[in-house]
Protein backbone atom coordinates (compact mmCIF):
# COMPACT_ATOMS: atom_id res chain seq x y z
CA UNK A 1 0.00 0.00 0.00
CA UNK A 2 1.56 3.30 -1.08
CA UNK A 3 -1.02 5.40 0.80
CA UNK A 4 -3.07 4.86 3.93
CA UNK A 5 -6.65 6.00 3.37
CA UNK A 6 -7.90 8.10 6.29
CA UNK A 7 -10.93 10.35 6.60
CA UNK A 8 -9.98 13.86 7.73
CA UNK A 9 -12.40 15.73 9.99
CA UNK A 10 -12.06 19.32 8.80
CA UNK A 11 -14.78 21.08 10.79
CA UNK A 12 -13.05 23.64 13.01
CA UNK A 13 -9.78 22.99 11.17
CA UNK A 14 -7.96 25.64 9.19
CA UNK A 15 -6.84 24.97 5.61
CA UNK A 16 -4.57 27.01 3.40
CA UNK A 17 -5.23 27.09 -0.34
CA UNK A 18 -2.45 28.58 -2.48
CA UNK A 19 -3.72 29.51 -5.95
CA UNK A 20 -6.64 31.45 -7.37
CA UNK A 21 -7.67 29.77 -10.64
CA UNK A 22 -10.31 27.21 -11.63
CA UNK A 23 -8.39 24.29 -10.14
CA UNK A 24 -8.11 26.14 -6.82
CA UNK A 25 -11.83 26.92 -7.04
CA UNK A 26 -12.71 23.18 -7.27
CA UNK A 27 -10.51 22.36 -4.30
CA UNK A 28 -12.04 25.24 -2.32
CA UNK A 29 -15.51 23.85 -3.01
CA UNK A 30 -14.46 20.47 -1.67
CA UNK A 31 -12.73 21.82 1.44
CA UNK A 32 -15.68 24.05 2.29
CA UNK A 33 -18.14 21.20 1.74
CA UNK A 34 -16.16 19.27 4.35
CA UNK A 35 -16.59 22.17 6.78
CA UNK A 36 -13.06 23.60 6.71
CA UNK A 37 -12.31 27.20 7.46
CA UNK A 38 -10.32 28.46 4.51
CA UNK A 39 -7.62 30.97 3.67
CA UNK A 40 -6.86 31.56 0.00
CA UNK A 41 -3.58 33.17 -1.05
CA UNK A 42 -2.95 34.22 -4.66
CA UNK A 43 -2.00 37.43 -6.52
CA UNK A 44 -5.13 36.92 -8.69
CA UNK A 45 -8.32 35.14 -7.71
CA UNK A 46 -10.93 34.16 -10.30
CA UNK A 47 -14.51 35.40 -9.99
CA UNK A 48 -16.17 32.10 -8.97
CA UNK A 49 -13.59 31.61 -6.21
CA UNK A 50 -14.06 35.18 -4.98
CA UNK A 51 -17.82 34.55 -4.81
CA UNK A 52 -17.28 31.32 -2.90
CA UNK A 53 -14.92 33.04 -0.44
CA UNK A 54 -17.51 35.78 0.13
CA UNK A 55 -20.33 33.25 0.62
CA UNK A 56 -18.42 31.24 3.22
CA UNK A 57 -16.78 34.23 4.86
CA UNK A 58 -13.39 32.74 4.14
CA UNK A 59 -10.18 34.76 4.24
CA UNK A 60 -8.29 35.89 1.15
CA UNK A 61 -4.93 37.53 0.54
CA UNK A 62 -4.34 39.02 -2.90
CA UNK A 63 -0.58 38.52 -2.84
CA UNK A 64 2.06 35.84 -3.24
CA UNK A 65 2.47 33.06 -0.64
CA UNK A 66 4.47 33.93 2.51
CA UNK A 67 5.93 31.63 5.14
CA UNK A 68 3.61 32.88 7.90
CA UNK A 69 0.60 31.64 5.86
CA UNK A 70 1.45 28.19 7.20
CA UNK A 71 0.76 29.27 10.79
CA UNK A 72 -2.20 27.56 12.47
CA UNK A 73 -2.89 25.46 9.40
CA UNK A 74 -3.89 21.77 9.44
CA UNK A 75 -3.79 21.12 5.69
CA UNK A 76 -2.08 22.85 2.78
CA UNK A 77 -3.38 22.62 -0.77
CA UNK A 78 -1.31 24.09 -3.53
CA UNK A 79 -3.09 24.69 -6.84
CA UNK A 80 -0.94 27.09 -8.83
CA UNK A 81 0.52 26.56 -12.29
CA UNK A 82 3.89 27.85 -11.10
CA UNK A 83 6.12 24.83 -10.43
CA UNK A 84 8.62 26.84 -8.35
CA UNK A 85 5.84 28.11 -6.06
CA UNK A 86 4.38 24.60 -5.73
CA UNK A 87 7.80 23.13 -4.86
CA UNK A 88 8.53 25.91 -2.36
CA UNK A 89 5.17 25.58 -0.57
CA UNK A 90 5.49 21.78 -0.47
CA UNK A 91 8.99 21.96 0.95
CA UNK A 92 8.11 24.55 3.64
CA UNK A 93 4.99 22.60 4.63
CA UNK A 94 7.09 19.43 4.78
CA UNK A 95 9.58 21.11 7.13
CA UNK A 96 6.66 21.79 9.48
CA UNK A 97 5.26 18.27 9.10
CA UNK A 98 2.06 19.68 7.62
CA UNK A 99 0.10 17.46 5.24
CA UNK A 100 0.34 19.00 1.77
CA UNK A 101 -1.34 18.33 -1.52
CA UNK A 102 0.05 19.77 -4.72
CA UNK A 103 -2.64 19.30 -7.34
CA UNK A 104 -1.64 16.76 -10.02
CA UNK A 105 1.79 16.31 -8.48
CA UNK A 106 1.94 13.15 -6.36
CA UNK A 107 5.72 13.49 -5.99
CA UNK A 108 5.42 16.81 -4.11
CA UNK A 109 2.35 15.75 -2.14
CA UNK A 110 2.17 13.92 1.17
CA UNK A 111 -1.60 13.53 0.83
CA UNK A 112 -3.68 13.11 -2.32
CA UNK A 113 -7.35 13.71 -3.02
CA UNK A 114 -9.26 10.54 -3.85
CA UNK A 115 -12.28 10.30 -6.14
CA UNK A 116 -15.28 10.67 -3.84
CA UNK A 117 -18.64 8.95 -3.88
CA UNK A 118 -20.68 11.04 -1.50
CA UNK A 119 -23.75 9.48 0.07
CA UNK A 120 -23.21 11.28 3.35
CA UNK A 121 -22.80 10.01 5.97
CA UNK A 122 -21.56 7.18 3.71
CA UNK A 123 -18.43 8.38 1.96
CA UNK A 124 -16.42 6.17 -0.36
CA UNK A 125 -12.98 7.23 -1.51
CA UNK A 126 -11.11 5.63 -4.42
CA UNK A 127 -7.57 6.23 -5.61
CA UNK A 128 -4.98 4.79 -7.95
CA UNK A 129 -2.26 6.58 -5.98
CA UNK A 130 -1.95 9.21 -8.71
CA UNK A 131 -1.12 6.54 -11.33
CA UNK A 132 -4.16 6.96 -13.56
CA UNK A 133 -6.83 9.64 -13.09
CA UNK A 134 -8.83 8.04 -15.94
CA UNK A 135 -8.95 4.70 -14.15
CA UNK A 136 -9.86 6.44 -10.89
CA UNK A 137 -12.78 8.12 -12.66
CA UNK A 138 -13.86 4.75 -14.08
CA UNK A 139 -13.82 3.20 -10.60
CA UNK A 140 -15.87 6.11 -9.33
CA UNK A 141 -18.43 5.63 -12.13
CA UNK A 142 -18.73 1.95 -11.25
CA UNK A 143 -19.26 2.71 -7.57
CA UNK A 144 -21.72 5.53 -8.32
CA UNK A 145 -23.82 3.02 -10.27
CA UNK A 146 -23.53 0.39 -7.56
CA UNK A 147 -24.43 2.40 -4.44
CA UNK A 148 -28.05 3.60 -4.34
CA UNK A 149 -28.43 7.39 -4.22
CA UNK A 150 -30.19 7.36 -0.85
CA UNK A 151 -27.83 4.95 0.87
CA UNK A 152 -26.91 7.70 3.32
CA UNK A 153 -30.40 7.44 4.87
CA UNK A 154 -29.67 3.84 5.74
CA UNK A 155 -26.47 4.80 7.56
CA UNK A 156 -28.27 7.61 9.37
CA UNK A 157 -31.02 5.24 10.53
CA UNK A 158 -28.54 2.64 11.79
CA UNK A 159 -26.44 5.35 13.42
CA UNK A 160 -29.50 6.63 15.30
CA UNK A 161 -30.31 3.11 16.50
CA UNK A 162 -26.80 2.20 17.56
CA UNK A 163 -27.02 3.23 21.20
CA UNK A 164 -30.46 1.65 21.67
CA UNK A 165 -29.19 -1.64 20.21
CA UNK A 166 -26.08 -1.53 22.35
CA UNK A 167 -28.09 -1.08 25.53
CA UNK A 168 -30.55 -3.86 24.68
CA UNK A 169 -28.04 -6.33 23.20
CA UNK A 170 -24.71 -5.92 24.99
CA UNK A 171 -23.08 -8.80 23.07
CA UNK A 172 -21.44 -7.47 19.91
CA UNK A 173 -22.01 -10.68 17.96
CA UNK A 174 -25.77 -10.47 18.58
CA UNK A 175 -25.88 -6.87 17.46
CA UNK A 176 -24.02 -7.75 14.28
CA UNK A 177 -26.51 -10.50 13.48
CA UNK A 178 -29.43 -8.13 14.06
CA UNK A 179 -28.05 -5.52 11.68
CA UNK A 180 -27.13 -8.13 9.05
CA UNK A 181 -30.64 -9.60 9.21
CA UNK A 182 -32.09 -6.09 8.93
CA UNK A 183 -30.01 -5.39 5.82
CA UNK A 184 -31.65 -8.32 4.01
CA UNK A 185 -35.18 -7.39 5.23
CA UNK A 186 -37.73 -4.99 3.68
CA UNK A 187 -36.77 -2.60 6.50
CA UNK A 188 -33.66 -1.69 4.51
CA UNK A 189 -35.74 -0.20 1.69
CA UNK A 190 -37.86 1.76 4.17
CA UNK A 191 -34.73 3.17 5.78
CA UNK A 192 -33.27 4.10 2.38
CA UNK A 193 -36.49 5.89 1.51
CA UNK A 194 -36.24 7.80 4.79
CA UNK A 195 -39.28 6.08 6.36
CA UNK A 196 -37.54 5.35 9.65
CA UNK A 197 -40.74 4.51 11.49
CA UNK A 198 -41.55 1.67 9.09
CA UNK A 199 -37.91 0.54 9.06
CA UNK A 200 -37.94 0.31 12.85
CA UNK A 201 -40.48 -2.54 12.70
CA UNK A 202 -37.86 -4.79 11.11
CA UNK A 203 -34.86 -4.00 13.29
CA UNK A 204 -35.44 -5.87 16.54
CA UNK A 205 -35.94 -9.66 16.27
CA UNK A 206 -38.89 -11.34 17.97
CA UNK A 207 -36.72 -13.51 20.19
CA UNK A 208 -33.10 -13.45 21.23
CA UNK A 209 -33.02 -17.26 20.78
CA UNK A 210 -33.42 -16.55 17.06
CA UNK A 211 -30.06 -14.79 17.19
CA UNK A 212 -28.08 -17.46 18.95
CA UNK A 213 -28.90 -20.17 16.37
CA UNK A 214 -25.88 -21.07 14.28
CA UNK A 215 -25.94 -22.18 10.66
CA UNK A 216 -23.63 -23.50 8.00
CA UNK A 217 -23.01 -22.09 4.53
CA UNK A 218 -21.63 -24.71 2.17
CA UNK A 219 -20.12 -22.54 -0.52
CA UNK A 220 -18.35 -23.32 -3.77
CA UNK A 221 -15.28 -21.10 -4.13
CA UNK A 222 -14.71 -21.88 -7.81
CA UNK A 223 -11.42 -23.06 -9.29
CA UNK A 224 -9.18 -20.21 -8.11
CA UNK A 225 -9.85 -16.90 -9.86
CA UNK A 226 -11.71 -14.76 -7.27
CA UNK A 227 -13.65 -13.05 -10.06
CA UNK A 228 -15.42 -16.37 -10.61
CA UNK A 229 -17.06 -16.27 -7.16
CA UNK A 230 -20.83 -15.88 -7.24
CA UNK A 231 -22.49 -12.83 -5.68
CA UNK A 232 -24.16 -15.09 -3.10
CA UNK A 233 -20.81 -16.65 -2.20
CA UNK A 234 -19.35 -13.17 -1.63
CA UNK A 235 -22.31 -12.16 0.54
CA UNK A 236 -21.97 -15.20 2.79
CA UNK A 237 -18.18 -14.86 2.87
CA UNK A 238 -18.74 -11.42 4.40
CA UNK A 239 -21.28 -12.74 6.88
CA UNK A 240 -19.54 -15.77 8.39
CA UNK A 241 -17.94 -15.81 11.85
CA UNK A 242 -15.83 -18.93 11.26
CA UNK A 243 -14.41 -20.26 8.00
CA UNK A 244 -13.31 -23.84 7.35
CA UNK A 245 -11.51 -23.97 4.00
CA UNK A 246 -9.78 -26.69 2.03
CA UNK A 247 -6.53 -26.84 0.09
CA UNK A 248 -8.18 -25.94 -3.23
CA UNK A 249 -9.30 -22.51 -2.00
CA UNK A 250 -6.85 -19.98 -3.42
CA UNK A 251 -5.32 -17.19 -1.31
CA UNK A 252 -6.96 -14.68 -3.66
CA UNK A 253 -10.38 -16.14 -2.82
CA UNK A 254 -9.59 -16.33 0.89
CA UNK A 255 -8.68 -12.64 0.94
CA UNK A 256 -12.33 -11.85 0.10
CA UNK A 257 -13.58 -13.46 3.31
CA UNK A 258 -14.60 -11.19 6.20
CA UNK A 259 -11.39 -9.87 7.64
CA UNK A 260 -12.17 -10.54 11.30
CA UNK A 261 -13.59 -14.04 10.85
CA UNK A 262 -11.72 -17.01 12.32
CA UNK A 263 -10.17 -18.97 9.44
CA UNK A 264 -9.19 -22.61 9.82
CA UNK A 265 -7.52 -24.79 7.21
CA UNK A 266 -9.10 -28.23 7.09
CA UNK A 267 -7.53 -29.49 3.87
CA UNK A 268 -6.70 -33.08 3.29
CA UNK A 269 -3.42 -32.49 1.46
CA UNK A 270 -0.73 -29.90 0.95
CA UNK A 271 0.13 -29.10 4.58
CA UNK A 272 1.53 -30.93 7.54
CA UNK A 273 -1.86 -31.56 9.11
CA UNK A 274 -4.38 -33.90 7.52
CA UNK A 275 -8.00 -33.34 8.47
CA UNK A 276 -10.15 -36.40 7.95
CA UNK A 277 -13.74 -36.05 6.76
CA UNK A 278 -15.30 -37.14 10.07
CA UNK A 279 -13.35 -34.44 11.92
CA UNK A 280 -14.64 -31.82 9.47
CA UNK A 281 -18.23 -33.05 9.83
CA UNK A 282 -17.96 -32.93 13.63
CA UNK A 283 -16.39 -29.46 13.58
CA UNK A 284 -19.23 -28.09 11.45
CA UNK A 285 -21.82 -29.46 13.85
CA UNK A 286 -19.99 -28.27 16.96
CA UNK A 287 -19.39 -24.73 15.66
CA UNK A 288 -22.96 -24.29 14.44
CA UNK A 289 -24.31 -25.58 17.76
CA UNK A 290 -22.17 -22.96 19.51
CA UNK A 291 -24.14 -20.31 17.57
CA UNK A 292 -21.59 -19.50 14.87
CA UNK A 293 -22.32 -18.80 11.23
CA UNK A 294 -19.90 -21.24 9.70
CA UNK A 295 -18.66 -20.88 6.16
CA UNK A 296 -17.54 -24.19 4.70
CA UNK A 297 -15.56 -23.00 1.71
CA UNK A 298 -14.69 -25.60 -0.90
CA UNK A 299 -12.81 -25.43 -4.19
CA UNK A 300 -14.97 -25.59 -7.33
CA UNK A 301 -18.50 -26.80 -6.67
CA UNK A 302 -19.22 -28.48 -3.32
CA UNK A 303 -21.39 -31.16 -4.95
CA UNK A 304 -18.88 -32.21 -7.61
CA UNK A 305 -16.25 -34.47 -6.07
CA UNK A 306 -16.42 -32.16 -3.06
CA UNK A 307 -17.96 -34.44 -0.43
CA UNK A 308 -20.49 -31.68 0.21
CA UNK A 309 -23.27 -34.28 0.46
CA UNK A 310 -21.57 -36.06 3.34
CA UNK A 311 -21.13 -32.83 5.26
CA UNK A 312 -24.80 -31.96 4.80
CA UNK A 313 -25.84 -35.40 6.04
CA UNK A 314 -24.19 -34.73 9.40
CA UNK A 315 -25.90 -31.33 9.60
CA UNK A 316 -29.31 -32.82 8.78
CA UNK A 317 -28.78 -35.49 11.44
CA UNK A 318 -28.34 -32.72 14.02
CA UNK A 319 -31.11 -30.45 12.60
CA UNK A 320 -28.65 -27.66 11.85
CA UNK A 321 -29.86 -25.10 9.29
CA UNK A 322 -27.69 -24.73 6.17
CA UNK A 323 -27.49 -23.07 2.79
CA UNK A 324 -25.69 -24.41 -0.27
CA UNK A 325 -24.15 -22.09 -2.84
CA UNK A 326 -22.91 -23.69 -6.05
CA UNK A 327 -19.50 -22.77 -7.40
CA UNK A 328 -17.94 -22.95 -10.84
CA UNK A 329 -16.52 -26.43 -11.03
CA UNK A 330 -12.94 -26.78 -12.24
CA UNK A 331 -14.08 -28.52 -15.44
CA UNK A 332 -15.98 -25.38 -16.46
CA UNK A 333 -13.33 -22.96 -15.24
CA UNK A 334 -10.31 -24.78 -16.69
CA UNK A 335 -11.94 -25.53 -20.04
CA UNK A 336 -13.10 -21.92 -20.46
CA UNK A 337 -9.71 -20.46 -19.57
CA UNK A 338 -7.90 -22.99 -21.78
CA UNK A 339 -10.11 -22.41 -24.84
CA UNK A 340 -11.63 -25.91 -24.87
CA UNK A 341 -15.43 -26.04 -25.15
CA UNK A 342 -16.59 -29.17 -23.35
CA UNK A 343 -19.28 -29.86 -25.97
CA UNK A 344 -19.52 -28.80 -29.60
CA UNK A 345 -22.21 -29.60 -32.20
CA UNK A 346 -19.64 -31.15 -34.55
CA UNK A 347 -17.34 -32.97 -32.13
CA UNK A 348 -18.95 -33.84 -28.82
CA UNK A 349 -22.56 -34.37 -27.84
CA UNK A 350 -21.98 -35.28 -24.21
CA UNK A 351 -19.53 -34.70 -21.40
CA UNK A 352 -18.73 -36.88 -18.39
CA UNK A 353 -17.10 -35.81 -15.17
CA UNK A 354 -15.25 -38.77 -13.63
CA UNK A 355 -12.67 -39.28 -10.92
CA UNK A 356 -9.31 -40.51 -12.14
CA UNK A 357 -8.00 -41.11 -8.64
CA UNK A 358 -6.01 -44.38 -8.79
CA UNK A 359 -6.38 -47.02 -6.07
CA UNK A 360 -3.44 -49.45 -5.86
CA UNK A 361 -2.34 -48.32 -9.34
CA UNK A 362 -5.76 -49.07 -10.84
CA UNK A 363 -8.36 -46.58 -12.05
CA UNK A 364 -11.57 -48.54 -11.73
CA UNK A 365 -14.07 -47.04 -14.19
CA UNK A 366 -16.64 -48.08 -16.84
CA UNK A 367 -13.98 -47.84 -19.58
CA UNK A 368 -16.10 -49.48 -22.25
CA UNK A 369 -18.58 -46.59 -22.08
CA UNK A 370 -15.76 -44.13 -22.79
CA UNK A 371 -14.87 -45.78 -26.10
CA UNK A 372 -17.40 -43.86 -28.21
CA UNK A 373 -16.19 -40.85 -30.12
CA UNK A 374 -18.20 -37.64 -29.86
CA UNK A 375 -17.99 -37.46 -26.09
CA UNK A 376 -15.71 -35.50 -23.80
CA UNK A 377 -14.39 -37.06 -20.62
CA UNK A 378 -13.09 -34.89 -17.82
CA UNK A 379 -10.95 -36.60 -15.22
CA UNK A 380 -10.74 -34.96 -11.82
CA UNK A 381 -7.83 -36.06 -9.58
CA UNK A 382 -6.31 -37.94 -12.51
CA UNK A 383 -2.69 -36.76 -12.68
CA UNK A 384 -1.30 -39.72 -10.70
CA UNK A 385 -3.25 -42.15 -12.88
CA UNK A 386 -2.55 -40.52 -16.25
CA UNK A 387 -0.61 -43.45 -17.69
CA UNK A 388 -3.33 -45.90 -16.69
CA UNK A 389 -6.09 -43.60 -18.00
CA UNK A 390 -4.46 -43.39 -21.46
CA UNK A 391 -3.76 -47.15 -21.51
CA UNK A 392 -7.34 -48.06 -20.62
CA UNK A 393 -8.91 -45.61 -23.09
CA UNK A 394 -6.82 -47.02 -25.95
CA UNK A 395 -7.39 -50.62 -24.81
CA UNK A 396 -11.16 -50.01 -24.84
CA UNK A 397 -11.25 -48.55 -28.34
CA UNK A 398 -10.49 -44.85 -28.15
CA UNK A 399 -8.13 -43.89 -31.00
CA UNK A 400 -4.51 -43.34 -29.85
CA UNK A 401 -4.65 -40.00 -31.72
CA UNK A 402 -7.53 -38.73 -29.50
CA UNK A 403 -6.53 -35.27 -28.22
CA UNK A 404 -5.98 -34.82 -24.50
CA UNK A 405 -5.23 -31.73 -22.41
CA UNK A 406 -3.90 -31.29 -18.89
CA UNK A 407 -4.80 -28.01 -17.21
CA UNK A 408 -2.78 -27.29 -14.10
CA UNK A 409 -3.80 -24.61 -11.55
CA UNK A 410 -6.58 -23.58 -13.89
CA UNK A 411 -7.94 -19.98 -13.83
CA UNK A 412 -5.09 -18.80 -11.59
CA UNK A 413 -2.15 -16.66 -12.80
CA UNK A 414 -0.09 -19.92 -12.75
CA UNK A 415 -2.37 -21.83 -15.12
CA UNK A 416 -0.45 -24.17 -17.42
CA UNK A 417 -2.02 -26.18 -20.24
CA UNK A 418 -0.30 -29.11 -21.90
CA UNK A 419 -1.81 -30.77 -24.97
CA UNK A 420 -1.03 -34.06 -26.73
CA UNK A 421 -2.81 -37.26 -27.66
CA UNK A 422 -3.45 -40.49 -25.77
CA UNK A 423 -0.24 -41.99 -27.12
CA UNK A 424 2.13 -39.07 -26.55
CA UNK A 425 0.85 -37.23 -23.48
CA UNK A 426 2.66 -39.34 -20.87
CA UNK A 427 6.08 -38.67 -22.38
CA UNK A 428 5.21 -34.97 -22.84
CA UNK A 429 4.22 -34.71 -19.17
CA UNK A 430 7.43 -36.44 -18.07
CA UNK A 431 9.40 -33.53 -19.59
CA UNK A 432 7.20 -30.77 -18.13
CA UNK A 433 6.64 -29.87 -14.49
CA UNK A 434 2.89 -30.21 -13.95
CA UNK A 435 1.75 -28.91 -10.58
CA UNK A 436 -1.40 -30.02 -8.78
CA UNK A 437 -4.33 -29.49 -8.95
CA UNK A 438 -4.60 -30.73 -12.52
CA UNK A 439 -7.62 -31.54 -14.60
CA UNK A 440 -7.55 -33.86 -17.60
CA UNK A 441 -9.80 -33.33 -20.63
CA UNK A 442 -10.06 -36.05 -23.29
CA UNK A 443 -11.87 -35.72 -26.61
CA UNK A 444 -11.88 -34.14 -30.06
CA UNK A 445 -12.90 -30.77 -28.56
CA UNK A 446 -9.35 -30.39 -27.20
CA UNK A 447 -8.14 -29.74 -30.77
CA UNK A 448 -10.29 -26.57 -30.86
CA UNK A 449 -7.89 -24.99 -28.37
CA UNK A 450 -5.58 -24.15 -31.28
CA UNK A 451 -8.12 -21.59 -32.51
CA UNK A 452 -10.17 -20.80 -29.38
CA UNK A 453 -7.47 -20.31 -26.77
CA UNK A 454 -7.68 -16.73 -25.38
Distances 281 to 243, 277, 284, 323 between C-alpha atoms, Å: 13, 6, 5, 15
For ligand SAM, the binding residue among 438, 444, 445, 449 (CB under 6 A) is: 438
Other Cβ atoms within 10 Å of 433 Cβ, number: 7
In the chain, count of helices (H) and strands (E)?
17, 17
How many amino acids of this chain bind ligand SAM (CB under 6 A)? 22
Residue 434: CB minimum distance to ligand SAM, A: 10
Catalytic site positions: 246, 268
Distances 343 to 112, 201, 393 between C-alpha atoms, Å: 51, 52, 19
Q: Please list the residues that pair with 122 across neighbouring strands.
A: 119
Q: How far out from the chain centre does Cα 140 lie?
A: 17
Range in contact with ligand SAM (rule: CB under 6 A) among 133-141, 196-204, 274-282, 434-442: 434-442
Decide whether 18 or 336 has the Cβ nearer to ligand SAM: 336
Q: Is 306 in the site for ligand SAM (CB under 6 A)?
A: yes
Residues 6 or more apart whose CB falls under 8 angstroms from that of 267 comprise 245, 246, 247, 248, 275
Cis peptide before 238 (omega within 30 of 0): no
Sheet of 75-78, strand order:
59-61, 37-41, 14-18, 75-78, 100-102
Range in contact with ligand SAM (rule: CB under 6 A) among 36-44, 149-157, 286-294, 303-311: 303-311
Q: Are 23 and 103 in contact (CB under 8 A)?
A: yes
Cis peptide before 437 (omega within 30 of 0): yes
Range in contact with ligand SAM (rule: CB under 6 A) among 37-45, 93-101, 360-368, 432-440: 432-440
Q: Is 304 in the site for ligand SAM (CB under 6 A)?
A: yes
Q: Is 337 in the site for ligand SAM (CB under 6 A)?
A: no
Q: Is 226 in the site for ligand SAM (CB under 6 A)?
A: no
Q: Is 301 in the site for ligand SAM (CB under 6 A)?
A: yes
Q: Is 299 in the site for ligand SAM (CB under 6 A)?
A: yes
Decide whether 20 or 306 has the Cβ nearer to ligand SAM: 306
For ligand SAM, the binding residue among 169, 182, 190, 305 (CB under 6 A) is: 305
Decide whether 192 or 246 has the Cβ nearer to ligand SAM: 246
Q: Is 443 in the site for ligand SAM (CB under 6 A)?
A: no
Q: Is 223 in the site for ligand SAM (CB under 6 A)?
A: yes
Question: What Rg do the C-alpha atoms of the chain give, in angstroms?
Answer: 30
Contact positions toward ligand SAM, by CB under 6 A?
A: 223-224, 248, 298-301, 304-306, 329-330, 334, 380-381, 407, 409-411, 437-439
Amino acid sequence: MDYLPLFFKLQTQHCLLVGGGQVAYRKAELLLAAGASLTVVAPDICEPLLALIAKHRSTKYLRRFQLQDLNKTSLVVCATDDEAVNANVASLAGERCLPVNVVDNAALSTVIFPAIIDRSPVIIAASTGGKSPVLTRKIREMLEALIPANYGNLATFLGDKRLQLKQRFPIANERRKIVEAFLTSPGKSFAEAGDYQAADEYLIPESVAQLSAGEVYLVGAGPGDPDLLTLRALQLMQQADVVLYDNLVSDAVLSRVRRDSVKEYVGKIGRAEFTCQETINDKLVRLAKAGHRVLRLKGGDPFIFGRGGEELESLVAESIPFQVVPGITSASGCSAYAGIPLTHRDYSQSVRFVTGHPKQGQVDLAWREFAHKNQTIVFYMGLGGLKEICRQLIAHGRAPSTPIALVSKGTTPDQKTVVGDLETIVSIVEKEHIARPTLIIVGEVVALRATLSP
